[in-house]
Amino acid sequence: MSTSSLAQPAQPPSGASLRLLLPLLRALRGLAILVAVFAAWEALVVAFAIRPYYLPRPTVIFAALWQTPAPYVQGFLRTLSETLLGFVAGGVFGIGIGLLFFRARALRELVFPLFIVSQTIPVIAFGALVVLWFGNTLLAKAAIAFYLTFFPVTVNTLLGLESVDPRQEALLRSFGASPLQLLTRLQFPTALPQIFVALRLASSLALVGAIVGEWFGDTVGLGVLLLQGMYTENVVSIWATLLVSALLGTGFYALVAAAERAFVFWGAEQ
Amino acid sequence: APARAADLTKATLRLKWLPQTQFAGFYVAVAKGYYKDEGIDLTINPGGPNLLAENLVATGADTFGLSGGLDSVFAARDKGMPVVCIGISHQMTPFVFVARADGPVKTIQDFKGKTVTTWFTGANHVLNAILAKNGIDPALVTIQPQQVSVTPFIDGQVDVITATRYNEYYTIKTRMGEEKLRTFVAEDSGITFPRDTLIVSETTAKEKPELVKAFLRASIKGWKDAFNDPKGAVDTVMAIAPTLDRAHQEFQLAEAKKLMVAGKVPEKGLFWIDMDSVKITQDLFLNAKVISKPVDLGATFNTSFLEAIPLADRKP
Amino acid sequence: MSSAPEMVGTARPRSLTLQRGVLGIVLFVLAWEGIARGFHLPAYTLPAVSDILASIYAKRAVLLTAAGFTLTEALVGYVLGALIGIGLAIVITLIPPTRAVLLPAATAINSVPVVAYSPLILLWFGIGMGSKFVMVALAVSFTVFLSALAGFDRVDRRSVDLLRSFGAGRLAILWRLRLPTALPLIAAGLRVSTVRSLIVAIVTEMLGAYGGLGWVIYQAVLQIDFVQVWGAIFVASAASLAFFGLIGFAEKRIIFWK
Amino acid sequence: MSAPRKAHMAGALAPPAPGAVLSLPLAHRLLGMKESGAFGVCGKCRSLYMVEGRLLTLASSSLPLPAEAAGPTASTSAADARPLLEMKGLSKSFANVTAVSGFEAAIAPGEFVTVVGPSGCGKSTLFNIVAGLEEPDSGSILRFEGRSCHARELLGKVSFMPQRDLLLPWRTVIDNAVIPMEIEGRSRKAARAEAREMLPEFGLAGFGDQYPHQLSGGMRQRVALMRTFMFKRELMLLDEPFGALDALTRTMMQRWLLEVWRKHRRTILFITHDVDEALFLGDRVLVMSARPGRVKLELPVSLPRPRSAELVTDPEFVRLKRILLEAIEEEAMKSFLAPGASGTH
Amino acid sequence: MSAPRKAHMAGALAPPAPGAVLSLPLAHRLLGMKESGAFGVCGKCRSLYMVEGRLLTLASSSLPLPAEAAGPTASTSAADARPLLEMKGLSKSFANVTAVSGFEAAIAPGEFVTVVGPSGCGKSTLFNIVAGLEEPDSGSILRFEGRSCHARELLGKVSFMPQRDLLLPWRTVIDNAVIPMEIEGRSRKAARAEAREMLPEFGLAGFGDQYPHQLSGGMRQRVALMRTFMFKRELMLLDEPFGALDALTRTMMQRWLLEVWRKHRRTILFITHDVDEALFLGDRVLVMSARPGRVKLELPVSLPRPRSAELVTDPEFVRLKRILLEAIEEEAMKSFLAPGASGTH
Ligand SMILES: Nc1ncnc2c1ncn2[C@@H]1O[C@H](COP(=O)(O)OP(=O)(O)OP(=O)(O)O)[C@@H](O)[C@H]1O
Ligand SMILES: Nc1ncnc2c1ncn2[C@@H]1O[C@H](COP(=O)(O)OP(=O)(O)OP(=O)(O)O)[C@@H](O)[C@H]1O
Ligand SMILES: Cc1ncc(C[n+]2csc(CCO)c2C)c(N)n1
Ligand SMILES: [Mg+2]
Ligand SMILES: [Mg+2]
């Protein structure tokens, strides 16, 4: 219950331009911090003469990225598509199953423990089987990403749907609402903030799934680069891939968070 | 005449490891269209630490496999996997055991009481065989699984390390200098451990012999090109995996060539399956209880596909 | 907040839920067994459950040792990670200026999927337990750090003011108010971290180890012993569930007021 | 099971003995009203009399009747004067508590009846039943518009406003207000247009496109009331609509509600904890006993309408308040020290 | 910056013209009291008079003074009679709102002063300042026990109870109550023993080892009050302690609070939204203006103590209520329609 959130009638025009400027300023500040961090890193490595094997200088890493950008760009795009595919499939399936479980309690009680058990299985133990089933395709990685994402989404969808205020439900029922009307007008919107919490988590998990999936005989992708870097002891390449992964990770997370802000604009009270 | 795209048969080759010049010939054959010429649309799928080519070939997920070696082929047959070996790439043991030249390990006998690291994925059998041949009780040697990194050896935490001639040995050599190293070779103890086996499933062998032959023809052509133009071959592989180190890959290709043209290959051609060394290896595995019983060598090894190719074409 | 209709959510007998859950698992296992046996699936595609259980029994010594190995890695890493996570959150809470540095750094490190660190960590710390401790601690500490910080921040400003009005300092407020308030969130972080810690340990083991369930799986894959692979998976799953249950139980004991 | 009740008679009429049972003809003779079944409304003083079981409640006002406060009689024929809602021997038990037991009351069309009672005495349960959300125990009699019916038949027939505003945070003021119409299947556009026109009346002009979190508590409550009014049903149930507001805001809302009621002419059943509020708003106050809830007292409020803020210091108001407080005191005490009885809402 | 105020004089004395400025000698002559600096207490009627700037507030009761309601004069010498707390020109601005501006008041030892005012007028801000949690704007004068001081110096010197009970759910009733003593560094054991003895007085006998979630709203509030009482400081600040309770429970709590206060004799500053509550409890009511908060009216409450429930229908009570309502009405209106002004608490 927000106490003092104010209803500002129209913002003054200066506020509008400020609102456009503010994210720009924030981005600039973030960039400045990033540059400062890299500078400090560089200085640290040089000052303490840290062996590049343990920590290469950022300039060396950026040089590697600059000289052979192709594998990193391709890896970024490939891993992104796998992540996206798995994420979307996992999200849709997770929400669907959440709705199903919400409606069919017996089914939920029957299947839910299995779902929980399934989540305790390390994917990597499964990887070989997934390649066996799906082949050396994008689908195999998306399947692993999917496997990691759907469960939290299901759980939170269910939690969200069940967190509906029974008084609110009673109110709508008193207006004569049908079950479908209850779902679309009350239950689903109520669950949305919770669903987005899971989706944010799932965005990271999907990336993990894609990267791990690529450890099973893939040709392109950030996971491939990591593995290759590890077995050739190419620490610079590992770091370059880590930075690209960070970019992908934050970017994808920011995307989901932006979607959350757009869809859950009312500021969920938890 | 080059076959038209529509007539191409789709097929895949599963490698035992990540793309590198160890597999250059296959990549060259793809790049030069030799498979297409044979009517095959071949995709090369890399391997990795948690994949097993035998498994993927046996289930039909991949058509061809360049698998671990005789060890994995025997193990697969022992577990009832219907794989058939149609060729052997590395005719001699690709591993060496490396100690410091100035270190305490001067002979195999010095392994006693020392820390030796090796991979438990085949190389351990070679180590055990060497120890046995030299009358050393393996229990007297501290054998440990080997790190991803060779740094523990370079830092002196490990006395003897296992190295592939084409990978780890290069890394150690460039970091320490070759003169600082002492190597122990399996062949010196009378042991040969052929690796990098080409496999297909029994079904493929039976139903698509022409495909198998065509694949071997194109692959050998690719390898011969790779040997003749190592620079071009390295370029081809580096295009696939650009983060690799060129100097290393050039060295690797040269080493791979040495391993591939060893043994009977000068007379019998590339990928030749020398049944004598196969039998010796089987005995080694039986003794080590890696396999529970002798496998049906006739069903496991099939030289007919190689023999269908004129010997002149097969010779390196 | 106890208004009448809120109680509508009928308290169903727990036993029925439990029965259904067990029934679900039994049905699943039977279907698996039926499919594997009925279609004569080879072990490398899908072994029958009975074969897996028999293999677990036969290899119980190996599996037990491996499970002990992995659990040790997971547990040590877990405790390490939890301490680091909570410690960092405490530092930020007690010394507010550190937030500006630590929080962005943590977020940046956290934006990389944990598994992506494994090559680096394996190169740095070797394939012994050290690398597993670090990986698990890495995975656990961020989850716990973020949840602990959220918990510390979640505390009602008015409660802080109340204690301040009694003359309480920052440390007293942390100890008496922030920590207990944050406990449910910290516990939630700790709970999700249990399964994660085991999975991360296993994943890292599969890239290189001297032992553990991941190593057993890796070896079994290469030795084409798929029944063994599944056996190890079963054991890993059981260990995860046990760890999860243990923490959940401890949580219920400690956070009784929820 | 009949509850102990007092029949109060205000103004010029002499009160009958407390708890007296009057025959219908006697009631007629006393009040000079024409018969209309078992219930009737006094044509002169707009108060309702009921004969149900052993109860007779009579109310009249000694004050002149203002035109706009004429109540149900102003435009209603004798047929309309039969109670809109009638409850007899209404009981409701949950797993281990009996929330309501033997509740009896009748509400005439156009009446504003307020209900007070200690926390947990079953007020909301009663409303849930009348809104059709919950079935009463068997044996309970529920009549709506003269016909005996199941509670669930009332779903969609009664305009219900629960204890909290329960606005949907993802909907604007307008879109919250049109929910009932949307559910009825009306076109959103038409419903929105209608709602937009009603905004000024609810003091929400210019706020139609705001979201609930941008509003003050008082405004949120008005949106909730507007939503209730948009669901055009004869009977409105308001469950402590102002419970969450501070006392000052609440006073404003009360006055405003009476104004809106005056214009829209609905029948209102209104729960409150606040004695001042019950008296200020109602034509009649029902005091409920501690759990299980029954009617402990029915108090007609013989105060003129329109009512203004000063009314709360009017001697008659104070007199009625004293009666109410006395009745409530005992019940409240019962639930005061019991743990869990009164939650913080 | 001085606020418009009215000086009310109850009982036998003729009221001076509203807003009149009386010189100190005049006040003395009028009331026949002995001087004690700028402040004094009437020996006869226990009411406080203050001369600060242009304000004079006088209060007396025409009713006989009951022994237990003798107030601060009963045991205090003239030295003690100087105000415990004094605020002059107190202002507090936040980023873009001025919450309090030019607030002036003095609280005598042992007095029970209630503060009413519309939502958001700065009452809690005022309390935060007096509790030492927030510094007022420069230029504000704050005196405690006669010495001018910074707000932060008051941390740990004033017993403060915020708007919510803020009980710690992981501590039992006893352990919640001993928090202030724990923070003072007292041994837990001794503190617990002391708290245990106080349980019956707070209506919590037998509940010492319960957890907050096992208690009703009224009980929780009593635990919070007990905690406040355990922090033994002369000045107690109670910020709407009963705001979250329903009206009936609240009435019980009020009576009980007076009882506890009668025994413990502390100085209480009490915020409420409820006019009845302010009058029922206070020796004096301060009405604050809408934001920025100032004192709009100071009303001495000349009602006898001990006070019982019936008091709310007493003519004198009703008269005072009318005065208060009138004063508040205008201020409440100001913040009523403003969005965000009154939140749901
Ligand atoms: N669905 C339910 N299951 C079990 N008990 C219930 C249920 N609904 C209500 N009760 C119980 O019935 C009693 C009456 O509840 P109800 O909400 O009707 O009281 P109320 O008079 O509205 O209280 P308040 O003034 O606090 O709103 C309470 O003791 C409550 O706990
Ligand atoms: N820390 C703060 N920062 C900014 N504004 C504040 C802060 N604290 C209070 N305010 C503002 O100051 C004004 C007065 O707030 P305060 O809480 O003192 O009011 P109140 O009289 O206690 O209200 P209520 O009766 O609702 O409790 C409000 O407009 C509030 O929004
Ligand atoms: C986990 C793991 N297993 C095996 C090897 C050994 N190895 C090094 S290079 C290579 C490919 C060509 O034989 C192989 C198998 C390793 N490094 N890491
Ligand atoms: Mg209720
Ligand atoms: Mg306040």
Q: Are E47 and E282 in contact (CB under 8 A)?
A: no
The pLDDT of residue D195: 94
From the CA of D342, the nearest ligand is 1
What average pLDDT does the segment D269-274 reach?
Answer: 91
Q: Does C208 touch chain B (CB under 8 A)?
A: yes
Q: Does A174 touch chain D (CB under 8 A)?
A: yes
Q: Look at residue E30 and tell me whether its pLDDT is greater than 60.
A: no
The tokens describing C228, both together, are 């063994």
Q: Does E133 touch chain C (CB under 8 A)?
A: yes
Q: At what angle do helices A138-162 and A123-134 cross, to 10 degrees?
A: 120
Q: Look at residue D340 and tell me whether its pLDDT is greater than 50.
A: no
Other beta carbons less than 10 A from residue D187's beta carbon = 11
Q: How many angstroms separate the CA atoms of B258 and B256, rounded?
A: 5
Q: Look at residue E261 and tell me whether its pLDDT is greater than 50.
A: yes
The pLDDT of residue C44: 77
**Distance, in angstroms, between E191 CA and closest chain A CA?**
36
Does ligand 2 have an atom closer than 6 angstroms to the CB of E122? yes
Q: Are B118 and B291 in contact (CB under 8 A)?
A: no
Cis-peptide into E212, omega within 30 deg: no
The pLDDT of residue D148: 92
Candidates A216, A219, A231; nearest CB to B51: A216
What average pLDDT does the segment B116-122 reach?
Answer: 89
What average pLDDT does the segment D311-336 reach?
Answer: 82
Candidates C123, C223, C226; nearest CB to B75: C223
Three-class SS of residue B196? strand
The pLDDT of residue C6: 31
> Within 6 Å (CB) of ligand 3, which residues are found?
A 231; B 16-17, 22, 49, 119, 121, 164, 167; C 208
Residues forming beta bridges with residue B85, ordered by sequence position: B199, B301
Give percent of chain A with pLDDT exceeding 70.
91
| Mean of the per-residue pLDDT values of chain A | 87
What average pLDDT does the segment D231-239 reach?
Answer: 92
Q: Look at residue E331 and tell me whether its pLDDT is greater than 90.
A: no
Instruction: Please enumerate in sequence order all residues whose Cβ is within 8 A of that of D8, keeping only pairs 6 or more positions apart, or say none.
Output: D15, D58, D59, D298, D299, D300, D323
| Mean of the per-residue pLDDT values of chain E | 75
Does ligand 2 have an atom closer than 6 angstroms to the CB of A4? yes
Q: Which tens digits make up the pLDDT trace of A37-71?
A: 899 999 999 999 988 888 999 999 999 999 999 99
Q: Using a CB-CB distance cutoff of 8 angstroms, which residues of chain C are in contact with residue E182?
A: 176
Measured at the CA of E25, the angle between CA E24 and CA E28, to 5 degrees, comes to: 90
Question: Per the CB < 8 Å rule, is C214 touching A124?
Answer: yes
Q: How many angstroms separate the CA atoms of C53 and C34, rounded?
A: 15
The pLDDT of residue D335: 58
Candidates C24, C113, C117; nearest CB to A113: C24
Q: Does C1 touch chain D (CB under 8 A)?
A: yes
What average pLDDT does the segment D87-95 reach?
Answer: 92
Q: Are B111 and B155 in contact (CB under 8 A)?
A: no
Q: Does A177 touch chain D (CB under 8 A)?
A: yes
Q: Does C175 touch chain E (CB under 8 A)?
A: no
The tokens describing D52, both together, are 């149900």
Q: What are the angstrom distances between the C-alpha of C197 and each of A119, C137, C180? A: 13, 8, 24
Residue range(s) of every CATH 3.40.50.300 domain in chain D: 85-158+233-337
Question: Per the CB < 8 Å rule, is D216 touching E310?
Answer: no
**Distance, in angstroms, between C118 CA and closest chain B CA?**
11
Report the residue of A2, A6, A8, A11 to disrupt the E interface, i.e. the one with the largest count of E CBs within 10 Å.
A6
Among the ranges given (A127-131, D301-305, E182-186), the one the predictor scored with the smallest mean pLDDT: A127-131
Greater model confidence, E18 or C21: C21
Greater model confidence, D79 or D94: D94
Greater model confidence, B119 or E53: B119
Q: Which tens digits make up the pLDDT trace of A159-173?
A: 999 989 888 898 899
Question: Per the CB < 8 Å rule, is D160 touching A2?
Answer: no
The pLDDT of residue D334: 65
Q: How many angstroms separate the CA atoms of E61 and E48, rounded?
A: 11
Give percent of chain B with pLDDT exceeding 90.
77
What average pLDDT does the segment E180-200 reach?
Answer: 92
| Mean of the per-residue pLDDT values of chain D | 75
User: DSSP string covering A25-72, please?
Assistant: HHHHHHHHHHHHHHHHHHHHHHHTT--TTT---HHHHHHHHHHSHHHH
The answer to whether residues C31 and C97 belong to one domain is: no
Task: Return the DSSP state at E110.
Answer: T
Residues of chain C under the 70 pLDDT cut: 1-14, 258
Does ligand 2 have an atom closer than 6 angstroms to the CB of E96? no
- What is the strand order of the sheet E147-148 is part of? E98-107, E85-93, E141-144, E147-148
Question: Per the CB < 8 Å rule, is C111 touching A54?
Answer: no
Rounded to the nearest 10°, the torsion over CA D25, D31, D35, D38 is -70
Q: Look at residue E176 and tell me whether its pLDDT is greater than 90.
A: yes
Torsion sign (Cα): C105, C106, C108, C112: positive
The pLDDT of residue C42: 82
Interface of E with A in 74-133 (CB under 8 A): 120
Q: How many angstroms separate the CA atoms of D225 and D202, rounded?
A: 8
Q: How many angstroms separate the CA atoms of E251 and E165, rounded?
A: 17
The answer to whether residues C25 and C109 belong to one domain is: no
The pLDDT of residue E305: 87
Q: What are the angstrom distances between the C-alpha of C256 and each of B91, C118, E284? A: 68, 38, 44
User: DSSP string covering B155-171, please?
Assistant: TTS-SEEEEETTTHHHH
Q: What are the angstrom distances between the C-alpha of B166 and each of A233, B126, B162, E171? A: 14, 17, 12, 68
Interface of B with C in 235-274 (CB under 8 A): none
Three-class SS of residue A127? helix
The pLDDT of residue D294: 92
Q: Does C110 touch chain E (CB under 8 A)?
A: no
The tokens describing C92, both together, are 């930020």
Q: Look at residue A12 and tell me whether its pLDDT is greater than 50.
A: no
The tokens describing C181, both together, are 């308030």
Q: Look at residue E76 and tell me whether its pLDDT is greater than 70.
A: no
Q: Look at residue E252 and tell me whether its pLDDT is greater than 70.
A: yes
Other beta carbons less than 10 A from residue A23's beta carbon = 9
Does ligand 1 have an atom closer than 6 angstroms to the CB of D125? yes
Q: Does A2 touch chain E (CB under 8 A)?
A: yes
What average pLDDT does the segment E111-121 reach?
Answer: 89
The pLDDT of residue B188: 92
What average pLDDT does the segment D90-102 reach?
Answer: 90
CATH number of the structural domain spanning residue C176: 1.10.3720.10
Tell me which residue range forms the domain holding C30.
1-40
Question: Per the CB < 8 Å rule, is E344 touching A1?
Answer: yes
Tell which atom from ligand 3 comes closest to the C-alpha of B196: 13
Taken as a whole, chain E contains a residue count of 345
Tell which atom from ligand 3 comes closest to the C-alpha of B119: 4
Q: Look at residue B211 and tell me whether its pLDDT is greater than 60.
A: yes
Candidates B55, B58, B145; nearest CB to C210: B145
Phi, psi of C105, rounded to the nearest 5 degrees: -60, -45
Question: Per the CB < 8 Å rule, is A173 touching D211?
Answer: no
Q: Whose CA is closest to E285, among E249, E247, E325, E253? A: E325
Greater model confidence, B272 or A120: B272
What average pLDDT does the segment A234-253 reach?
Answer: 94
ipTM over cut 0.85: no
Q: Does E168 touch chain C (CB under 8 A)?
A: yes
Q: Look at residue E213 and tell me whether its pLDDT is greater than 90.
A: no
The pLDDT of residue B273: 95
Give percent of chain A with pLDDT exceeding 90.
60
Question: Per the CB < 8 Å rule, is E344 touching A4?
Answer: no
CATH number for the region E85-158+233-337 comes to 3.40.50.300
Q: Are B264 and B272 in contact (CB under 8 A)?
A: yes
Taken as a whole, chain D contains a residue count of 345
Greater model confidence, A191 or D329: A191
How many domains are contained in chain C? 2
Instruction: Kindly give the pairing relationship between strand E235-239 and strand E159-161.
Output: parallel
Report the residue of E179, E182, E228, E345 to disrupt the C interface, i.e. the one with the largest count of C CBs within 10 Å.
E179
- What is the strand order of the sheet B64-69 is part of? B40-45, B9-14, B64-69, B195-201, B83-90
Q: Pick the residue whose CA is nearest to atom 8 on ligand 2.
A: E125
Structural domains for chain A: 56-265 (1.10.3720.10)
Q: How many angstroms separate the CA atoms of D60 and D47, rounded?
A: 6
The pLDDT of residue E317: 92
The tokens describing E201, both together, are 């007085």
Q: Does D345 touch chain C (CB under 8 A)?
A: yes
The tokens describing D77, both together, are 């024929």
Phi, psi of D327, rounded to the nearest 5 degrees: -65, -40
Q: How many angstroms separate the CA atoms of E70 and B206, rounded?
A: 113
**Which run of H or of E encompasses B34?**
helix B34-37
Instruction: Kindly give the pairing relationship between strand D235-239 and strand D267-272.
Output: parallel
The answer to whether residues C246 and C129 belong to one domain is: yes
Q: Whose CA is closest to C138, among C152, C154, C124? A: C124
Other beta carbons less than 10 A from residue C210's beta carbon = 15
Other beta carbons less than 10 A from residue B299's beta carbon = 12
Q: How many angstroms separate the CA atoms of D227 and C19, rounded?
A: 45
The answer to whether residues C101 and C76 belong to one domain is: yes
Does ligand 1 have an atom closer than 6 angstroms to the CB of D123? yes
Q: Using a CB-CB distance cutoff of 8 angstroms, which residues of chain C are in contact with residue A54?
A: 124
